[in-house]
Each structure stands twice: as structure tokens, then as C-alpha cells.
Amino acid sequence: MSPPPIDGRARVVIEGVTPEVDAGRFAAKRTIGDTVIVEADIFTDGHERAAAAILVRHESETEPATIAMTPLVNDRWRGSFVVSRGGGYWFTLLGWRDDFGTWAADLEKRRAAGPVADVDLAIGAALVAAAAARAAGDDARRLRRFSAALAEGGSAATAVAGDPELAALVAAHPDLEHATRYDRELPIFVDRERARFGAWYEMFPRSCASEAGRHATFRDAAARLAYVASMGFDVVYLPPIHPIGHTHRKGKNNALVAEPGEPGSPWAIGGIEGGHESVHPELGTLGDFDAFVAEATGQGLDVALDIAYQCSPDHPYVALHPEWFRRRPDGTIQYAENPPKKYQDIYPFDFDTEAWASLWQELLDIVLFWMDHGVRIFRVDNPHTKPFALWEWLIAEARKKDPGVIFLSEAFTRPKVMYRLAKLGFTQSYTYFTWRRTAPELRAYFTELTAPPVLDFFRPNLWPNTPDILTDVLQEGGPPAFAIRYLLASTLGASYGIYGPAFELGERVPREPGSEEYRDSEKYEIRHWDLDRPDSLRSLITRTNAARHAHAALQRDDTLTFHDTDNPRLLCYSKTSASASDVVLVVVSLDPVWKQGGWVDLDLAALGVTPDTAFEVHDLLSGARYPWHGRRNYVELDPHRLPAHLFEVRRIT
């Protein structure tokens, strides 16, 4: 007969652990300074009590710290720790039978029923003596004294048994000989704050000239940074800045043939001037780009750079590495397609090539190159069309150079694919917010995004528009629709972005009816923007970003709570800071045409307000103040004036 495969004396069960992403295959995401709350179901057979602890270490450490867990209800346990450094953390759990705790609880029952027998006290004395043997120094001396007092028996010993100091000392030196250790270490990756919170502004540097008709330079783009910073943005994001190919160059409005002098699409990367590690000569030099990054840093802005792993037919890779591209039966290289769309000016890489390893290394080298030039954020174009394994490896390698590097996934694709990319390491992700417009749609979607398990691995970055996406809501709703979608993005999400100046100036004419493409799209031509137009949303954006920076509640997603309204055209939700000391309540009208009013039915507990407490709501956009009381309160919003309330909730004591 073969012996049992386990130690039968390890009688505690650990299951239902959170946060745990796919049984520990992937890391849960947190940012520096976060408190990680760990929960698990921990129990044992019989009536004996259990005890539990978290073992946690930073990736630079070999020995873990031990953190006690406390019971909740129904054998659920909780503990927490603060992640104070960037990079990887690992944690696991220990559970063991708490013999002393079981003895003390039973002894209290015996005492309530009558005199306690000395033999029962002697059992406790032995347990305490064993704890003393595991301890050292002053703890050991105090435990020995407690053991001796229990061994003496009598009423005095019974009183000693209930001493809280004794319980704390024994708990500090548990018997772990037969403890159950959770069968895996679970990873957590800790990013810098920008991974959790930030407002992005996308702009084409070639359209930053002070006068119309001129291709701008990095110096012109650097001069534009003060405008971006003045609105309170945190990240300036640049589409590809590389040389643009001439072969099959697209013209204005995506015409198949470019007219002389037309600049082409920045995503058709590469020409005789160089490829992914070069800059477009009309923008300037690498030195000019470095100066742009320095100016952005001085303005308090991170620079995000577009990573598009594709080539124009003129890219040096096409001649130097033909093995990296797929050829059709007629010998020509396969250009990019997303039927019915055709991109004759772009060659995708062939990731099934036998030379995949050298291709992967080159793609990593591109990222490392731009990191050497001060870029710490990358927006990755269409990552879902490249191998999953590439991203897991590439992002991990980039983090070895700088754990603070951030990758934004631009993958408008199937949900499971979007989630897989996030699990593989993408720091943030574009979302379906762009097309969610009704209150039920928004509530359902953001409830999914801001609750476990999705919350632990997927960080949304909300965009009401992009150079590729002009939704029908924006086309048809006019300036109020832009304000509504902006306020939703910037308050539902701790991270959001706009493609400007097209957004703040309300650019809304499609290329043709039913299209989400812009007419006169900046993707294919240089635009000149009048930033001082009186109808600009600049003031609203500035006020909203100021509120986002002033209120910690708007800097996270995990506290989002929806509140009911009696008008389906109104959406109401709140957020609180991690400490719950800062509370923000938002009411947005989803109607860009008509005034809407109704009653909001508040979850007062989520606001930290009791039913009998009066409170004041202070509108951070208009400055208005309203005294409220109880759950039901009335609001009215005119989209042509201000389509939302952004309230700070102030309790009246």
C-alpha cells in the first residue's frame, strides 16, 4: 500500500483567493501607494478555529513579510498590504489550526458553565510553553511567565487565560509545523500613478504651425505644449513621427493617389530617410525630438508615442529583411487589408515567418530606442493583429529597462481578445465607451469594468473620438454632444483621452453619410486649427481637469457607484477616494437637444451620508451650491448651457 501523498496533519483549506487572475497565470494590476486587499475562504474540519496570514515580497526581496489576516463571515478572511515600490510583487497565503484560540474559546464556555478544571488550564499552559519555545527575547520570557501562571491552576489562572496580551503573544508565534500553504505564489504588478490616472491629448505635430499651409516642426509642436498643459492634460500623445513612404501614398480623404505635395498618412512608416528609429525630416532631427520631450517634461506632460508595427513599401526593412513579409502567389508583398478597407500604402509584418525571432528582437529594439529618448508611454496600434506571445515577452523586456513604462492597447475587437491583451501586460486599454450611449448601456458596461475580476487586470482609457472614429452621436448632436461625451469620459474614467484640436473645436463632418471617418481627415493632410475660436470647449476641459487633479475620488475607477434616476436620459454616479474622505457625485444629461429634469435616488451609504444627515453639493463646473437632504433630490440640466453637474459632496455637521 502506497503512503498518502500529502501530510494528513495539514487540515486547513485555502480557496477562493482574490486578487487572482487566471489561477495566478497573470498579474493583478495596482499602482504605487495602493492598498492591496487580499481575501480568501479559509477553514478547517471539525470545530477547531483557523488562523491565516499573507506572505508577501517585492521581486527584489527573497524573504517575505508576514501579515495577519482577520475573519469576516462564513469562513471568509481578509488582510491587506501597501505596495510602496514599482515592479512585481508576489504573495501567497498560510492557514493553520489555531489550537490556542480553540482552547481559549472552549475554556470561556467552560467558565460560563461552572468552575474550570486545573487539567484544562494545564492544557493551555502547555500550548503557551510551546509558543515560548518558538519565541525569543522578551516575548519568550513573557510567555513562560504566562505558562507558569496557567499551570498553577485555580481562579487566578482562569483570569490569566483571558488576558488579551497573552492572546497577542501566542498569535505572534504560531505553530506552523502543519500549516497549509496556498499552492501558488500570486503576482501583482505595480505601476506608477500615471497608469491609473491621467488625461491624454492626441495631436499631430505636423499640424502645429502658427500659420496655414506649412508643415510644422518639432519646435512648432513644442510651442503648442503650453496650450495643452494649460487645459490640465497629463499626457501628450503623438501619432507616428517617422518618415512616410511615397509608394501608394494616400491622398486627401484617403484618395488612392496622392497629389504632388500631399504628406501621406503617418502610419505608412518608412522611406529613404529611415524607418521606425528615424524622424520625418520635415519635423526636424532626433535632437529636435529630444528638445520636444524636454519641453513637455517642463510643462508637466508625459510624451506618448505611437507604436505601429507596419511598413510602407519604401521602408528599409522591405529591402533588408524580405523574410519578414508575406508574399502573394504573384510575388508581390501582401498589403494591409480590413475588408472592405484596403491599405495599399502599408505592408504588415509576417509573424509566421521562420525568422520570427529576429523580427521580435527588432520590434523590441524599436521600443528600447525611443525609451532612450525619454518616451515612457507607448500607444500600440492594433496589437490584436500581432501574436499574444510577442506582447507578453516584449512588455516584460521593456519593464526590465524601466518598470514605469506604460503601454496602451488600441484594440477595438472582441472582448476576450481585449482582456487577454490586458492580462499579458498592457497597462491600459481602449474600450467600447466610444459606442455606449444610453444609460443602461453605460451602467452595464462600467459595472463590468470596475468590478472583479475585470478590475484586477483591465484599466480602461476612455476616448470619445480618435482620428479614426467620429461617432454618429458627435456628428448629429453638435457642441452639446461633445460636451456630454467629454464629461462622461473624464468622470467615468480615471484615464481618458481626446483627439484634439478636432475635439475641443467640435469637428463633426463625416467623409460621407454613414461613415465614422472625418472629412478632410488630419490623417491624410496638414490642418491648421484656430485654437482661439469662441465655441471651443477649452474652458470646460480646463475646469474638468482641474477638478480631476483636485479630487482624489476622480483619480480611480474601483469606487464607481451608480445611482438610480426616474428619467432614463439622466445618468447619475459617484466616486470616492481610497480613504472615502473625498466624495464626488456626477449627474449627466444624455440628451444633446432638450432640457432634462428628474429625481435622483441616491445610495447614501456610498456617499458616506446617513439618512438623517443634511449635506451640500458644490458644483465644480458652475460653482453653484445646493443643500440636499435624504435620498431623493431633483436636478435639471440644459445641454445648451451645461449638460452635467460635477458635485463635490460636503457633509453638514
**377, β-bridge pairs:** 304, 406
- Among candidates 637, 646, 643, which has minimal Cα distance to 598? 637
Helix (H) or strand (E) holding 359: helix 356-372
How would residue 4 be classed by pLDDT, with cut points 50, 70 and 90? low
Q: Three cell numbers at 402?
A: 524601466
* pLDDT band, residue 40 (cuts 50/70/90): very high
Confidence (pLDDT) at 154: 87
Look at 33-47, 197-211, 334-348, 384-398 and tell me which has the smallest mean pLDDT: 334-348
Confidence tier at 120 by pLDDT (50, 70, 90): confident
Residues of the chain with CATH 2.60.40.1180: 555-651
* The amino acid at 16: G
Burial 525-534 (b: 16+ CB within 10 A, else e): bbbebeeeee
> For position 160, what pLDDT does the model report?
86
**CA distances (Å), origin 570, targets 492, 617, 635, 645:** 14, 17, 9, 11
Residues β-bridged to residue 541: none
Q: How confident is the model at residue 3 (pLDDT cuts 50, 70, 90)?
A: low
Predicted confidence (pLDDT) at residue 6 exceeds the cutoff of 80: no
Residues 378-408 as b/e (b if ≥16 CB within 10 A, e otherwise) read bbbbbbbbbeeebbbbbbeebbeeebbbbbb
Residue 204 · residue 522 · CB < 8 Å? yes
Residue 407 CA to residue 421 CA, distance in Å, equals 11
The answer, yes or no, to whether the previous bond of 19 is cis (omega within 30 of 0) is: yes
Kindly indicate the confidence band of residue 470, based on its pLDDT and cuts at 50, 70 and 90: very high
Q: Is 190 left (phi over 0), alpha (psi -120 to 50) or beta?
A: beta
- Whether residue 453 is preceded by a cis peptide bond, meaning omega within 30 degrees of 0, is yes
pLDDT in tens, 476-509: 999 999 999 999 999 999 999 999 999 999 999 9
> Which residues of the chain does CATH 1.20.58 include?
100-172
pLDDT at residue 43 in the model: 97
Q: Is the pLDDT score of 348 beyond 90?
A: yes
Per residue in 519-549, pLDDT tens?
Answer: 999 999 999 999 999 999 999 999 999 999 9
Residue 338's pLDDT is 79
Burial call 546-582: b when 16+ CB within 10 Å, e when fewer: ebbeebbbbbbbebbbbbebebebbbbbbbbbeeeeb
Distance of alpha carbon 83 from alpha carbon 196, whole angstroms: 14
617-642 pLDDT tens trace: 999 999 999 999 999 999 999 999 99
The span from the CA of 9 to the CA of 368, in Å, is 52
Residue 295, number of CB atoms within 10 A of its CB:
20
Q: For 52-94, give the DSSP string.
A: EEEEEEETT-SSPEEEE-EE-STTEEEEEEE--SSEEEEEEEE
Class of CATH domain 100-172 = mainly alpha
> What pLDDT was estimated at residue 161?
87
Report the topology of domain 12-98+178-190.
Immunoglobulin-like (2.60.40)
Residue where the block lists cell 474601483: 558
Mean predicted lDDT score pLDDT of the chain: 96
557 Cβ contact list (under 8 Å, min separation 6): 196, 449, 450, 455, 459, 460, 493, 494, 575
pLDDT at 652: 76
Residues with Cβ < 8 Å from 440, sequence gap 6 or more? 568
| Intervals of CATH 2.60.40.10 along the chain | 12-98+178-190
pTM summary value: 0.95
Q: Write out the E strands in 154-309.
A: 180-181, 186-191, 198-202, 235-238, 302-307
Per-residue pLDDT band at 10 (split at 50, 70, 90): confident
The CATH H-level superfamily of 555-651 is Golgi alpha-mannosidase II (2.60.40.1180)
Amino acid, res. 552: A
What's the rounded mean pLDDT across residues 382-405? 98
The tens digit of pLDDT for each residue in 79-111 reads: 999 999 999 999 999 999 999 999 999 998 888
Q: Are strands 377-381 and 406-410 parallel, antiparallel or unpaired?
A: parallel
CB 457 within 8 A of CB 21: yes
- Asked if the model's pLDDT at residue 285 lies above 70, the reply is yes
CA distances from 636 to 193, 421, 569, 645 (A): 36, 41, 11, 9
Alpha-helical segments (H) within 135-244: 137-151, 154-161, 164-172, 218-230
Band (pLDDT 50/70/90 cuts) for residue 1 is low
Better-predicted residue by pLDDT, 2 or 494: 494
Q: Give the whole-angstrom CA distance, residue 289 versus residue 78.
A: 49
Mean pLDDT confidence for 416-425 = 98
| Residues taking part in catalysis | 381, 410
- Classify the C-alpha dihedral 330-334-339-345 as positive or negative: negative
